[in-house]
Structures are given as structure tokens and as C-alpha cells.
Amino acid sequence: MSRTDSLALRTDTPSTPAASAPLSPRGDCALPSLGRTVTTAVPDTLRIGLLGCGVVGGGVVETLHQNARHIEAEHGVRLDIVRAAVRDVQRERSVHVRRSWLCSDWREVCEADDVDLVIEVMGGTSPAREAIATALTHGKHVVTANKQLLAACGVELQALAATVDRRLLFEASVLGGIPAIHILHTYFGANRIRALRGIVNGTSNYILTQMADTGLSFADALAEAQRLGYAEADPSADVEGYDALYKLQILARCGLRIDLPEAAVTRVGIMGVTSADLAAAKRLGCKVKHVAEVRLAADGRVSAQVAPVVVAPSDPLYAIDGVQNALVVTGDLVGDLTFAGPGAGAWPTASAIVEDVLKVIKAVPGHS
Ligand SMILES: NC(=O)C1=CN([C@@H]2O[C@H](COP(=O)(O)OP(=O)(O)OC[C@H]3O[C@@H](n4cnc5c(N)ncnc54)[C@H](OP(=O)(O)O)[C@@H]3O)[C@@H](O)[C@H]2O)C=CC1
Ligand SMILES: N[C@@H](CC=O)C(=O)O
């Protein structure tokens, strides 16, 4: 990407208009009203609108609070949440959410003049799709963790973002805290990526690990994954392999530059994996893992599946246990590179989201 992003960054002067201004190096800001660059000791402010304040949204609130000083010192910018849309404004929240932020209508966030960037963590395709489109057309950059939406409408929303010259970033939609999208977009230039293979659903991996290592039942392991904030609002998306399928579609688009329709992917979840299967794998010195894989043959043929498979100790996915995720990228020059880390939960996901927010600010090339 060659263009430079612009942001409506505000100084602390309340009367500063919220018009778009070119992003300047730390400490400098081009005041939109004056059209000149000044140096200021006051950090610029990026005004954030949140769509959703559940597990991940709460993680974002906490992260911005906890690392505010570090971010200000490092980047010269204050990340301020100014609005948040939720379903139920009366609900008790586990994180400190200001009453003044809250509303129940996403339009109040996406159309607001006092919001520069929208973080979408509501989930689902509706109203998330309309909300993101509205935010983009109202001049806001968007960061989202919504894999279901991106798998279904990512191309369309990216095109809209390009048309309105805003950014739509989605690192948190795949592999939790692992910067997989960043790596796929920015690193592999000389290599042709031949395959992407990984453990991409933290809930499934957590359940299989608990069942194999502690003898927990499927139901109890799932309940624990829900309690820990790993599972989707509807956990059938995790255990039936849909969540892994969505992530594979996004990874295929970013890494292989191909559209991977749902119908082209064999999908099997972990519901059919029994304790006896796990014990049998163990006796062979192996483990059962839920693996997502897409391969691009030299003749252009694509094969893709999401399914439980038996992995041997020599497999890089063998050691990936609990909520950990991993992605093995096969390049035609380099061979296999494995990236691993925490794949779900409030903190790793919020980490990926806030890194994306800072990427908008830094206008790092590589995303479109
Ligand atoms: N949990 C995880 O580990 C990860 C989740 N994700 C993705 O992040 C997104 C959010 O997940 P998570 O935080 O776990 O989900 P939660 O169910 O915990 O939170 C959803 C939030 O969205 C709000 N919400 C839902 N619908 C609407 C609506 N129509 N209008 C306004 N607010 C709405 C809810 O409001 P209320 O609180 O009032 O009910 C809630 O605050 C999903 O896309 C998920 O796939 C991505 C990576 C990891
Ligand atoms: N439910 C998902 C959350 C992260 O994407 C998972 O378990 O991986």
C-alpha cells in the first residue's frame, strides 16, 4: 500500500475541529483549522467508538486503561474510548465502563462526529456488516475481530474501505494474539505460499487437551472454555468447525490470494472425538488435534479441510496444547515456518486489536 493514511487526531484543545489531518510524527500535529504543523507536548487523541463490550470489548477497555501510559509515551497518542454500543445498557460489566459512553444503537457510534475509529466486537453478520459499512462511509477507520463477517463479506468491505480511503484491519479475527495477518501481508514476497496449516480454534484445542490430559468430559471442558472467554457466543461455531472454517477462508485470502468458498472446504468439528479416540492416539505416542489446512498445488488446484487428525510428535502442531494456536506456513523457498501463541480470550484478542489501532496510526504499509 503506497498511500498515506489520514486521521482526525485531536489535540487536547476541545475546540479543535474534527476534520481529517495528515498524520504527523510523534509530538507534531497538523492542526486542521490552521493548516500548519506545530510541535505540542500534549499527546494527540484518537477517539474510539466500541461496538460491543463483552469478553473482547471488555479486554480492549482494560488494555487501553492498563497500557495507556506506555502507548502515550511510545506513540505520542492517547487512545480514548468515547462511545460504546451494547445490547443492554443496564447490564453490570466486569470492566469499568463509563455510563456516558453507553448506548444501545450502533448508529450513535458509527455516525458520530466525535469518533475517529470504530472497533467492532459485537460478532455475527448482522448488524455488524451494516455498522462497519456505515462507519467507513462516515470517515472512520475500522478494526474488527469478526471472522464470521470477514469470511462472508471481507472482500466487499475491503473494497468499500479502499473506495472511501479508510482502513479496515482484522488481525484479531484469526489466531488470537498471533500476528498472522501481518506476517502474511508483509513478509512473504519472494516465496510463493503453497500451504497454510494450523490449529486455529482455541476452544476446540482447549477441549481436546483437557479431555486427553485430565480426563475432563467434553461438556465440562466446553463449559470451562466458555467461562474463560474462549468460546463464541454460540459455541457450536467452535465445536462444529465453523469458526475454524471462517479463519481458514480469511487466511487463504490473505496468504494464498484465493477465494475459498465454504463449499470447497471439508468441515468436521470435534463433536465426534471420544475419550477412547484420544486414549488410542496417546497409546501410539500421538495426539488428536483439530487442524485447518489449505493447499495450493502448482497446477492451481486447491484442497482444503478442517477436521480432527492424529498428529505425531514430529509434527509442529503436536506441542500446541490448551488455548494455544499455531500456523504452519509453507513457502516454496523457505519450507515450513511455524508461528504459535495464545489463540483466544480477552487479552490476546485485545492485544491484536490495539496493535491494529496503532497500525492505523503509524500507517504501516502492507494492509489495504
Ligand atoms: N472471545 C474470544 O476469544 C474471541 C472473539 N472474537 C470475536 O470477537 C467478537 C466478540 O466476541 P466476544 O467478545 O467473545 O462476544 P460477547 O458475546 O462476549 O460480546 C458481544 C458484545 O456485543 C454486544 N452486542 C451484540 N449485539 C449487539 C447489537 N446488535 N448492538 C449493540 N451491541 C451488541 C453485546 O452487548 P451486551 O453485553 O449488552 O450483551 C456484547 O457486549 C466476535 O466476532 C468473536 O468471534 C475474536 C477472537 C477471539
Ligand atoms: N472462539 C474462538 C475465539 C477466537 O477466535 C476460539 O476459540 O478460537
Q: Check whether 158 has a pLDDT greater than 60.
A: yes
Q: For residues 249 and 348, give the distance between their C-alpha atoms in angstroms, rounded to a whole number.
A: 21
At 20, which amino acid appears? S
Nearest-atom number in ligand 1 for the CA of 127 is 29
Q: Do the Cβ atoms of 288 and 277 come closer than 8 Å?
A: yes
Element (H, E) at 119: strand 117-120
Closest atom, ligand 1, to C-alpha of 237: 45
Residue 120's nearest CA partner among 172, 67, 65 is 172
Measured CA to CA, the distance from residue 16 to residue 38 in angstroms comes to 14
Please return the burial class of 360, using the count of CB atoms within 10 Å of its CB with bins 0-12, 13-18 and 19+: buried
pLDDT in the model for residue 28:
32
Q: What is the pLDDT of residues 105-157, one digit of tens each?
A: 999 999 999 999 999 999 999 999 999 999 999 999 999 999 999 999 999 99
- 117-129 burial, b at 16+ Cβ within 10 Å, e below that, comes to bbbbbbbeeebbb
Higher pLDDT, 82 or 29: 82
pLDDT at 27: 32
User: What is the value of pTM for the model shown?
Assistant: 0.90
User: What is the rounded distance in angstroms from the CA atom of residue 309 to the CA atom of residue 201?
Assistant: 14
Nearest CA to ligand 1 atom 14: 55
Asked if the model's pLDDT at residue 286 lies above 70, the reply is: yes
| Confidence at residue 43, expressed as pLDDT on a 0 to 100 scale | 59
Q: Is 362 a catalytic residue?
A: no
Average pLDDT, the chain: 89
What integer is the mean pLDDT of 269-276? 97
Which are the contacts of 66, defined by CB distance < 8 A and separation ≥ 6?
none
CA dihedral 147, 150, 153, 159 (to 10 degrees): 170
DSSP conformation class of 262 = G
Tell me what pLDDT residue 21 has: 32
* Test site for ligand 2: of 243, 320, 351, most ligand atoms within 8 A of the Cβ: 243
Going from the Cα of 151 to the center of ligand 1, the distance in angstroms, rounded, reads 17
The secondary element (H helix, E strand) that includes residue 58 is helix 55-66
pLDDT tens-place string over residues 304-326: 999 999 999 999 999 999 999 99
Q: Which residue shows C-alpha cell 462516515? A: 138
Ligand 1 centroid to residue 121 C-alpha, Å? 5
Dihedral of the alpha carbons of 279, 267, 257, 120, in degrees to the nearest 10: -90
Q: At what angle do helices 218-227 and 202-214 cross, to 10 degrees?
A: 130
Protein residue whose Cα sits closest to atom 5 of ligand 2: 344
pLDDT tens for each residue of 208-223: 999 999 999 999 999 9
Q: Residue 95 above 70 pLDDT? A: yes
Site residues for ligand 1, CB cut-off 6 Å: 52-57, 85-88, 91, 106, 121-123, 127, 145-147, 172, 176, 229-230, 232-233, 344-345, 349
Closest CA to 294 of 320, 318, 259: 259
Which residues lie below 8 Å from residue 243, measured CB to CB, with a gap of 6+? 147, 148, 200, 201, 203, 232, 237
Number of C-beta neighbours around residue 282 at 10 A: 13
The residue from 147, 247, 289, 359 that is catalytic is 247
Give the model confidence (pLDDT) of 329-345 as tens digits.
999 999 999 999 999 99
Q: What is the DSSP string of 279-319?
A: HHHHHTT-EEEEEEEEEE-TTS-EEEEEEEEEE-TTSTTTT
> How many helices (DSSP H) and strands (DSSP E) are in the chain?
12, 16
15 vs 12: CA distance, rounded Å: 9
Q: Which of 144, 170, 201 to mutate to test the pocket of ligand 2 (most atoms within 8 A of CB)?
A: 201
